[in-house]
Homo-oligomer: A and B are copies of this chain.
Amino acid sequence: MRHYISDLSQHVGQKIELKGWAYNSRSSGKVKFLELRDGTGMVSCVYYRGTEPGQCNEESWNEFDKMTQESSVKVVGIVKAHPKHAGVFELGAESLQILSRAEEYPISHKEHGTDFLMDNRHLWLRSKRQVAILHVRHEIVKAIRDFFDGRGFTLTDAPIFTPSACEGTSNLFETQYFDEKAYLSQSGQLYMEATAAALGKVYCFGPTFRAEKSKTRRHLIEFWMVEPEVAFNDLYDNMELAEQFIEYIVQRVLKNQPDALKALERDTTKLAPIKGAFPRLHYDEAAIMIKKENPEFIVGDDFGAPDETIISSKFEKPVFVHHFPSAIKAFYMKEDPKEPGKSMSCDLLATEGYGEIIGGGQREESLETIKRKIKEHDLKEKDFEWFMDLRRYGSFPHAGFGLGVERAVAWICGLPHIRETIPFPRLYGRHYP
């Protein structure tokens, strides 16, 4: 049986073998310390020279000094509870074998520039901080799926290759699809409207692509998005679903990933209140709020990042803004019959200035209106024949939203930049390694 550092508590007093990498080591004459990592955790291996159990032989004692940072090693030793810290274990090491001696490791335990770290992303991922982020990311992805799966949703993966653009043709990646052109999906939503008619409650969860020539701390070229869609839901059902969803994710990370959040020095008192009903602002209310602090804001426009911060700074919970002007929303968004010119849309702004993490709303169900909107948005009707079929054959009220996973990871981890939220970030001008 293979042993891992995460399981040490079950093996106190036993002699076990660990394989991993030398994260750090130091020597103080009579005793040598190896901080070993194996991907599941970190453990101090303590080398005393001697012949008693838990002491190491001459050969391993000498081998120790040949070990470089990030060398892969095999260590045998006796598991001991830390004399002072409960829940911490160390290894009374009896042997050390260097499996592969590392060349001089480019990433030291000092500070490095961002470009350098990004060039070495494949190695940077080994650091404690990056490992903690990836654990939180994994927990968030799992929480997302568990939330929907536990509520009777069916996963219906959307295609990546699409014949057309659902939000216009700008920022699209194009590829030759045999004899035709194809575009990489920016959203699976239109497809979810089709599967919602088949399965009632559905979601897709996959990578999406935007060819944005901008370098900001909130944009990735390639990012993962989860998009639920529910038949017979309206705008208000949709906001209720979204707030339950965000509460579930945040509280699960708090519960299951305390060590990772601690490693990231996340102020969890900011996350604990993310529960229950979230405040809801009509676009007009939000616009007044912004205008007070940013007189240059034009009512009717979409919010910029600083505008979002003006709103979100007033609340300790995420806040919904709903009823954005139809003119700044996608063609498929339903106009509110009670408020001409306003769409039944909703965005959710995260706390602490993290801005929009969810966008969604109720969809237009009238065939005539959809046809008109397609024309107004300069889209090709032919590309949307199948989408219009959903209005021809048993049209139904429905609503849904999209959550950008990386923005949620950045927010929950408290990261200043989105580039660390995904193992191999794709940014404007970067797709290596």
Which residues does A use to contact B, with CB under 8 Å?
Answer: 2, 4, 6, 19-22, 38-40, 70-72, 99-100, 102-103, 105, 120-123, 125-126, 130-131, 134-135, 137-138, 141-142, 145, 149, 152, 154-163, 173-180, 182, 184, 191, 194-202, 206-207, 209, 211, 213, 221-222, 224, 231-232, 365, 386-387, 389-397, 422-424, 426, 428-429, 431-433
Contacts and interface: CB of A to CB of B under 8 A. Distances in A.
A319 B222 CA distance: 38
A387 B122 CA distance: 8
A160 B386 contact: no
B389 A122 contact: yes
A196 B138 contact: no
Most B CB atoms within 10 A — which of A39, A209, A387?
A39
B135 A39 contact: no
Given A38-B200, A105-B393, A122-B386, 6 more contacts: A72-B395, A99-B395, A121-B386, A122-B387, A125-B198, A159-B424
A222 B183 CA distance: 13
A contact patch SS? mixed
Given A19-B231, A149-B142, A178-B429, A197 B126 contact: yes
A155 B140 CA distance: 11
Given A386-B432, A393-B123, A141 B160 contact: no
Contacts of A428: 178
Which 6 A-B pairs rank lowest in CB-CB distance, beginning with the nearest?
Answer: A39-B200, A386-B433, A100-B395, A122-B194, A72-B394, A125-B198
A173 B175 CA distance: 7
A221 B422 contact: no
Contacts of A386: 120-122, 432-433
A103 B393 CA distance: 6
11 contacts: A21-B396, A38-B200, A39-B197, A40-B199, A100-B365, A134-B154, A157-B422, A158-B423, A159-B431, A161-B222, A163-B431
Nearest to A224: B157
B423 A157 contact: yes
A395 B158 CA distance: 38
A423 B195 contact: yes
